[in-house]
């Protein structure tokens, strides 16, 4: 399996940890004939509280063992397009994930744990017996179709409200697969978005973000600087407008939400490494991260990845997407990238970013100041007009001056004849 060492140091680190401890992740595959529909690699821990015969309760910790197998309730063709992965283990225990498909997304619509209280080794002195199932239908696990869902972070899910917790980690899975291998395009969970050295935090008031029928005004320009030690390593100044395609609750259809990032309600953080710099912006209901890459050989940098996650009140389901193969905002080490006109960074079909008044320098910042600016091509074109106008004006001034001098010489000559 090929992994893309993208969009962040944190994920890269987790990936490394994941590779080193790969023995703990269980790999499962659900097939229909020869066609694979679900592939999952994951680690899971369960905390289960149960009643004991001594009139008390006990809590046990269970780990999904490597010996877990695909259970016979697994299916590629469930009711209403659903697919199911059942991981069976031990004496009749199982973890089940039911997937549902929704437009361009798939999600886990039912996450459940079945455990067999009759298994005295796992549940000593249990007062009950037989198999008990607890589930949640709000797992929040969702990904774009044809992408692999990745979540290396520990994600806890509370089931049934009776003291059963499932903690998933190192999850790498895809449902509704169209080929035998997991897609190299990934949907990364927001918990994996890198949060490191927090620089500034403003208290944020809850905001409601209804979809605007008309695009809002130009966004305010925010200024963000990330420091390592006491030196600035990343500087950015920009106005940001999000363009998210999502299923609206209020309108019961797919809409385009155009929302400005409000710098005065945005907290930010980030990190700088030799060849990777990350800027993470957080608004109450929106997370946005930018990953810049530096090619040490060519001394050129560019914006290589954007991750976004949003849970706006009007959304039927939380929105999260990313693209790690962008080639935006190109610049040279030691210089800043500048683009004043509005530009659009197309991240995926359902998400684009409109940027305004951009100046960024993700690498080689000296003395906490922007290096000389390299302007975006569009701006160079715009600069042509003033240059031409300027040249014309200069020419005109020259002509007037020459005419004046000639005129003065003539009139002087005229006086001399008197």
Ligand X SMILES: *[C@@H]1O[C@H](CO)[C@@H](O)[C@H](O)[C@H]1NC(C)=O
Q: Which residues bind ligand X (CB under 6 A)?
A: 33-34, 50-51, 55, 91-92, 96, 98, 104, 110, 112, 116, 118-119, 128, 131, 133, 135, 137, 145-146, 162, 178, 185, 215, 220, 229-230, 243, 252, 256, 258, 262, 264, 295, 297-298, 323, 325-326, 346, 348-349, 352, 354
How far is residue 175 CA from its own chain's centroid? 20
**Smallest distance, Å, CB 394 to ligand X?**
39
Tokens of 12: 């890269």
Pairing verdict, β 148-151 and 186-188: parallel
**Smallest distance, Å, CB 112 to ligand X?**
4
Of 27 and 52, the one with the shorter C-beta distance to ligand X is 52
Of 264 and 417, the one with the shorter C-beta distance to ligand X is 264
Of 24 and 101, the one with the shorter C-beta distance to ligand X is 101
Of 243 and 320, the one with the shorter C-beta distance to ligand X is 243
Of 295 and 411, the one with the shorter C-beta distance to ligand X is 295
Of 252 and 417, the one with the shorter C-beta distance to ligand X is 252
Contacts 24+ apart (CB under 8 A), 86-89: 87/26, 87/28, 87/44, 89/64, 89/65
Of 160 and 390, the one with the shorter C-beta distance to ligand X is 160
Of 79 and 417, the one with the shorter C-beta distance to ligand X is 79
The residue of the chain with the least Cβ separation from ligand X equals 92
**Smallest distance, Å, CB 201 to ligand X?**
14
How many whole angstroms separate alpha carbon 119 and alpha carbon 115?
9
**Smallest distance, Å, CB 214 to ligand X?**
9
Backbone angles phi, psi at 138, to 5 degrees: -125, 55
**Smallest distance, Å, CB 345 to ligand X?**
8
**Smallest distance, Å, CB 216 to ligand X?**
9
**Smallest distance, Å, CB 325 to ligand X?**
5
How many whole angstroms separate alpha carbon 208 and alpha carbon 142?
23
Of 232 and 352, the one with the shorter C-beta distance to ligand X is 352
**Smallest distance, Å, CB 70 to ligand X?**
14
**Smallest distance, Å, CB 53 to ligand X?**
9
**Smallest distance, Å, CB 137 to ligand X?**
5
Of 342 and 374, the one with the shorter C-beta distance to ligand X is 342
Pairing verdict, β 93-102 and 83-89: antiparallel
Task: Provide the residue count of the chain.
Answer: 418
Q: Is 175 exposed, middle or buried (0-12, 13-18, 19+ CB in 10 A)?
A: buried
């Amino acid at each position: 399996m090929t992994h893309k060492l993208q969009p962040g140091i944190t994920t890269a680190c987790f990936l490394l940890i994941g590779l080193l401890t790969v023995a703990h992740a269980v790999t499962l595959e659900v097939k229909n004939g020869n066609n694979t529909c679900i592939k999952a690699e994951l680690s899971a821990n369960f905390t289960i509280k149960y009643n004991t015969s001594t009139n008390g309760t006990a809590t046990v910790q269970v780990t999904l063992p490597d010996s877990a197998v695909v259970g016979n309730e697994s299916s590629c063709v469930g009711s209403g397009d659903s697919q199911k992965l059942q991981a069976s283990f031990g004496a009749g225990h199982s973890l089940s994930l039911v997937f549902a498909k929704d437009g361009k997304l798939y999600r886990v619509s039912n996450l459940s744990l079945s455990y067999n209280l009759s298994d005295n080794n796992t549940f000593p002195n249990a007062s009950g017996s037989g198999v008990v199932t607890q589930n949640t239908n709000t797992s929040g696990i969702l990904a774009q179709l044809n992408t692999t869902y990745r979540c290396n972070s520990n994600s806890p899910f509370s089931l049934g409200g009776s003291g059963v917790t499932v903690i998933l980690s190192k999850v790498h899975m895809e449902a509704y697969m169209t080929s035998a291998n997991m897609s190299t395009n990934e949907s990364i969970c927001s918990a994996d978005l890198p949060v490191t050295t927090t620089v500034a935090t403003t208290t944020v008031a809850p905001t409601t973000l209804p979809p605007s029928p008309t695009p809002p005004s130009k966004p305010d320009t925010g200024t963000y600087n990330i420091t390592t030690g006491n030196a600035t390593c990343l500087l950015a100044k920009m106005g940001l407008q999000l363009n998210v395609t999502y299923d609206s609750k209020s309108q019961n259809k797919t809409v385009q939400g155009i929302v400005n990032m409000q710098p005065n309600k945005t907290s930010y953080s980030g990190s700088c490494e030799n060849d990777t710099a990350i800027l993470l912006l957080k608004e109450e209901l929106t997370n946005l991260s930018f990953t810049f890459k530096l090619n040490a050989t060519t001394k050129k940098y560019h914006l290589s990845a954007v991750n976004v996650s949003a849970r706006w009140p009007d959304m039927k389901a939380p929105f999260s997407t990313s693209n790690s193969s962008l080639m935006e905002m190109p610049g040279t080490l030691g210089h800043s990238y500048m683009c004043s006109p509005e530009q659009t960074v197309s991240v995926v079909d359902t998400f684009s970013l409109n940027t305004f008044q951009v100046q960024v320098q993700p690498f080689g910042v000296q003395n906490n100041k922007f290096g000389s600016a390299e302007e975006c091509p569009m701006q160079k074109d715009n600069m042509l007009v003033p240059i031409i106008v300027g040249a014309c004006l200069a020419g005109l001034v020259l002509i007037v001056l020459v005419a004046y001098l000639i005129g003065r010489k003539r009139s002087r000559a005229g006086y001399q004849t008197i």
